[in-house]
Amino acid sequence: MRTPVYLLLLGLMLGTVAIVVRSGIFMRKNPGEPINAAMRIALAGVAYQWTAADLTLLARDYAGAYDSPGGARYLIRKPGTGELTPKVGQIVTIHYEGRFLSNGLKFDASADNGGPYNFAVGRNQTLSGWDEAILTMKKGERRTVVLPYWLAYGEKGLRNKVPGRISVVFDLELVDFR
């Protein structure tokens, strides 16, 4: 006899909670400031922008570079072959060398890490600027890609290797994709 009563009470409680939650009775009128900087920027509608120093270096060293929709800039150093480009999810093999835009200092290279680098393009397995650039490259193509911090290592950087909010330059070569 007790079990049906407990089940009825539990059902009434759950039903009441569901109605209250769906109605929004206890919803705050002003939820306040978002907790992280990225969300505050997104809600404010503030667009990311290159720094003045970066723009000066881009004009001097990368005049004629193409602009990508996400904000990267690139120069095609050697055209690729064929008409095909990688599709999202395909495994790509690349050679790369990364340098800081501000001083040209090399901080990483595939040659220093045992050879070409493989990853599934467009699956957030690497820098978003790489995904954007590689999806438009042809096999064998070499590009110099200048990535602003928001397409590279972001606000925080990379553990003792890349400081936060710094623009980087990558020489990329698309070796193969499958």
- In the predicted structure, residue 57 carries a pLDDT above the cut 90: yes
The helix or strand, by DSSP H or E, that contains position 173, with its residue range, turns out to be strand 168-177
- In the predicted structure, residue 33 carries a pLDDT above the cut 80: no
Residue pair 116/87 in contact (Cβ under 8 Å)? The answer is: no
CA count, 13 A, side-chain hemisphere, 103 = 5
Q: Cα–Cα–Cα angle for 173, 174, 175, nearest 5°? A: 100
| Reported pTM | 0.74
A 10 A CB-CB count for 94 gives: 22
Residues in CB range of 129: below 8 A, 6 or more apart? 70, 72, 145, 147, 148, 151, 152, 170
Tokens of 164: 């936060």
Mean pLDDT of the chain: 90
- In the predicted structure, residue 43 carries a pLDDT above the cut 80: no
Q: What pLDDT sits at residue 45?
A: 64
Residue pair 75/65 in contact (Cβ under 8 Å)? The answer is: yes
Region 84-95: mean pLDDT is: 97
The structural architecture, per CATH, of the domain 49-177 is Roll (3.10)
- Partnered with residue 145 across adjacent β-strands are 74, 170
Domain boundaries of the chain, sorted by first residue: 2-42, 49-177
Buried b (16+ CB within 10 A) or exposed e, 31-57: eeeeeeeeeeeeeeeeeeebeeebeeb
